[in-house]
């Protein structure tokens, strides 16, 4: 199950970095943290997965970053689409590191899966 989370984090990270490079956004460091909750009974499928996209936010356009995460979650990441189509709710969060911890910005970007409306990209045939 850890490999599933690693695949989701890797897929999302590659998408986000690729989009930010195309938008010529300066990124000095970036990482994705992924954690998931599983059912108590078998099969122990994921019920909620949280991804935190963490990066140095000094010179990055916040809207470009938010949009890159949203595009990954709703259009490009096949692993996320597969999980969200099942029983797992997937939440993507953004953590922009400031000069000091008090300057950090945290925001939920998008949530997919049960209880969340499907984005247009996932409902189109």
- For 59-94, the pLDDT digits (tens) are 888 899 999 999 999 999 999 999 999 889 999 999
The total number of structural domains in the chain stands at 1
pLDDT tens digit sequence for 21-57:
999 998 889 999 999 999 999 999 999 999 999 998 6
- Structural domain range at position 50: 2-123
- Predicted model pTM: 0.86
Cβ neighbors of 112 (< 8 A, separation 6 or more) are 73, 74, 80, 84, 89, 90, 118, 119, 122
8 A C-beta contact, residue 109 and residue 80 = no
CATH number, residue 49: 3.30.300.20
Residues 73, 50: Cα–Cα separation, whole Å = 12
């Amino acid at each position: 199950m850890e490999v599933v989370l690693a695949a989701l984090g890797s897929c999302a990270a590659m998408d986000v970095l690729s989009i930010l490079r195309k938008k010529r956004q300066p990124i000095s460091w970036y990482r994705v943290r992924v954690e998931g909750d599983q059912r108590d009974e078998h099969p122990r499928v994921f019920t909620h997965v949280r991804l935190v996209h963490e990066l140095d936010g000094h010179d990055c356009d916040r809207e470009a970053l938010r949009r890159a995460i949203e595009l990954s979650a709703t259009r490009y990441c096949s692993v996320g689409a597969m999980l969200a189509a099942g029983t797992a709710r997937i939440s993507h969060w953004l953590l922009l590191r400031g000069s000091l911890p008090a300057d950090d910005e945290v925001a939920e970007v998008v949530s997919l899966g049960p209880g969340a409306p499907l984005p247009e990209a996932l409902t189109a045939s």
